[in-house]
Amino acid sequence: MEKFVYVDELKPGFRNVNLYVKAIEKIAERDVVSRRDGSKHKLAEFTVGDETGVVLLTLWDERIEEVKLGKVYKISNGYTTLHQGSMRLNVGKYGSIEPVEDRDIEEVNTENDVSKRKFREFGRRDRRSRW
């Protein structure tokens, strides 16, 4: 059975995250080049949220087109990362984002933006204790 969390419960480094969010705003879309293999990709960030808060969702390539503003989505097996000290929600290649019709999030709490909280980033060697 899947365990679902609310946006205000998210912390950096979470894995296997399941939650329902409403897409509020598309922040940016840009072309990026992979540092690994030089391939070109599209990257977009969306503000998504629920009754408890909002977070930035990062999507890549064809997943960008799957998200429509004002719709509610079920994110399964997502994860959180830090980008310049700011938390991001990610779906990745092992996660999924699916529109849902049987659940509504009438009012999103935009006052609690968890991506605006600043976290200290740790290097690979410092992952033993983060908080």
How far apart are alpha carbons 34 and 32 in whole angstroms?
7
Residue 3 DSSP SS3: coil
Domain coordinates in residue numbering, the chain:
7-117
Residue 31 DSSP SS3: strand
- Per-residue pLDDT of the chain (131 residues), as tens digits, is 789 999 999 999 999 999 999 999 999 889 999 888 999 999 999 999 999 999 999 999 999 999 999 999 999 999 999 888 889 999 988 999 999 999 999 999 999 999 988 776 655 544 444 44
How far apart are alpha carbons 43 and 71 in whole angstroms?
20
How far apart are alpha carbons 5 and 76 in whole angstroms?
11
* CATH superfamily of this structure's domain 7-117: Nucleic acid-binding proteins (2.40.50.140)
Q: Which residues pair with 56 in a beta bridge?
A: 47, 88
Q: At a CB cut-off of 8 Å and minimum separation 6, what does 83 contact?
A: 58
